[in-house]
A and B are shown apart, each in its own frame.
Chain A
Amino acid sequence: MKNLMLTSAVAALFASTVFCAQAADKKTLVFVANGASDFWKAAEAGVKKAQEELPNYNLQFKYPEQSAAAIQERLMDDLVAGGVAGIMVSAVDPKTETDALDRVASHTLLLTTDSDAPKSKRLAYIGSSNVLAGNQVGEILKKALPNGGKCMAYVGLPGADNARERIQGIKDTIKGTKIEIVDVRADDIDQARAKRNVEDTLTANPNVDCMLGIYSYNIPQIYQALKESGALGKITVTGFDDDPITLGGIKEGTIAGTVVQQPYEWGYQGMKDMAKILEGDKSFIPKDNLMIIPTKVIDKAGVDDYAAQLKKLQGKG
């Protein structure tokens, strides 16, 4: 116990010396991601854009070294100790992090993004609604399968809230139709296993009508497996996020469509909102404290525009 206290004291001391230097004149606002991935590149671009408009603030974008709750908590504690004015976080595991989030919220302004922690003392959530996004995927399904069908869903961590809400959203929308989700296969974020799950489905349930990719890499792995087995085009594929393969498949017509979030807007709007709140304006926050930035459906018609825009945001264009 003593040891732990000593360590955290030393860590705090160290962190404060690092951050004080920067925080002296400008207020610092930090976007804390839940782990490193391409997905956050767009949010980073949004934060950058907001920085241009907020010259009196010092905006930062931080990744925890690992996608682990404890490591993310330590990162936030260090930031708090360094005296940052506001944190916007995509919690790795919102349920178990409630205490840590409360601790942060008691010292500084805290918004959640991406995945919400409604039971914590965070001021507000800004981001997509996974349920609404799921509804949109459900609509794609209804359009693609007017006569109904059996769907298989693939996901990294089925117990995670974002996965559960997305699937729930789909189920809500397809209720009453003849479309059903027969099983959800998990891969623990191992892409090789994600692909093998699809291959095994083709063996075990060859008459499945559609496949849903819940995590961003799931549609690409579905696409590869179908392509190699020659089933591409025979099975409806849809799901979430905007991996280049997903967008390519949509353009090609082998993927029915995808629903994308707008992390650029989270970063941009979130930072500007935090500045507003710090300046005393809280009036724009809705009663339920959920500031939903809508997700977008990308189908064959809109895929080219979206791809171009994405390239620009990720700095690859």
Chain B
Amino acid sequence: MAEPFLELIGIGKAYPGVQALADVSLAVSAGEVVGLIGENGAGKSTLMKVLGGVVAPSSGVIRLDGQDRPSLTVKDAIAAGIAFVHQELNLFDNLDAAANVFIGREPRIGGPLNLIDRRKLRASVRPLLERLGCDFKPETPVIDLSIAQRQQLEIAKALSLGARVVIMDEPTSSLTISETNRLLDIIGDLKASGVAIIFISHRLNEIEQCVDRVVVLRDGRLVGALDRVAIRHDAMIRLMIGRDLKELYTPPAAPPGESVLELVALKTSAYPERSVSLSLRRGEILGLAGLIGAGRTELARALFGIDRLAGGGIVLAGQPIVIANPRDAIDRGIYLIPEDRKQSGLILEHSIASNISLPDLMSYASFALISGSREDRNATAQCKALRIKTRDVATLVGALSGGNQQKVVLAKWLSMRPRVLIFDEPTRGVDVGAKTEIYELMRALADKGVAILMISSDLEEVIGVSDRMAVMHEGAIAGILERDSFSEETIMQLAVGHSIH
């Protein structure tokens, strides 16, 4: 292997009250794919910010092409060919693909008029897109691109900047299986052309598939590195959480009870021509698998009263009900843990306590005046029960890690009386340790008689957690699988619309 061109040596970074990084060393050589894993809050983002020149380390040395420096600036990082493909993509969706690639470096024409040379712009972007095998054109508006395409565009942008190392932060969290495979191919191509990749992911399958070695961070320290041959799930998890992870599936304490929620030929606005009939039973976890865009989130939104039904009906415990808005759903004990918790699940600038009390504020109030102590007491109890890691319940939710945020969303609903809980991608952006805790919680709730509908695009999760599974394809249920017939292959077959014989 070639000599590393980029080395971090003994990097430390302290924030008030937190040692985010301590003595981390990492070397990257050309054409190498390095996996970086660790629970949320382990220091991955800080380390990447040090590389990007956004954060100056408090100690340590960055050796770039043999030259030692105490820190980088953003400019240094770009000049050195360090490029990012962020989790939240940084594209201007009001511009076209080409304009995004060359934003801030547009070829000019017309002398003092400083006009943008569109032709040259597009001509220089086209080969980049071809190299990555993109199926869109330089002039395609970004708003029309899928998440996967946007990511490819980000990579194209990195290449146009002469990137020698591309850092990908959770690149597959919003991708479908086939899109993920496409990305892994691209990573292979980049590697072959000598570009190094730092691949950050919670999805251990992908890490296994594509990286040359794995570096594991825990509590700001480097706790281990695994070579290609040593990369295995259990080994990675042990390093990340410092202990062994149990088998995902816990069987229910009792067989499922009577049907609680019945969807009768339900139609959503996304697929007004197709209908869903489904029955959810007391005490079971029903997984809802399918490709992104299969209409699962739309189904959840309609059930929760966010969107209007396009047809069909809902029966709750034998009674037909009408859900016109989320309040109707909440009053009946149907709760939703939404896909995008930062946008829909939480008010990040509000405290843990006031987020938890929000859906049921009246019961914390006398004469419409809120009792802060009642709110705090309940929130404290919830934090304890759900093991939410925080100093106190006045902490702003935005300051919590992804897993703890998700637990706050859960705490909102667990403070009330859930009958049906709909989880939409319950562990997206949640670290391994917290994932397990969330699965345990789901099982405990189901055992108490709650009916759980879990939408998930993570096959490992949907197979590992569900008691029963429905697979959706283009707005309709393509098939329902019992636990003994779960397999990745069957699910994918159904998800892409093939029938199972």
Task: Indicate if A touches B (C-beta under 8 A).
Answer: no
A residues with CB within 8 A of B: none
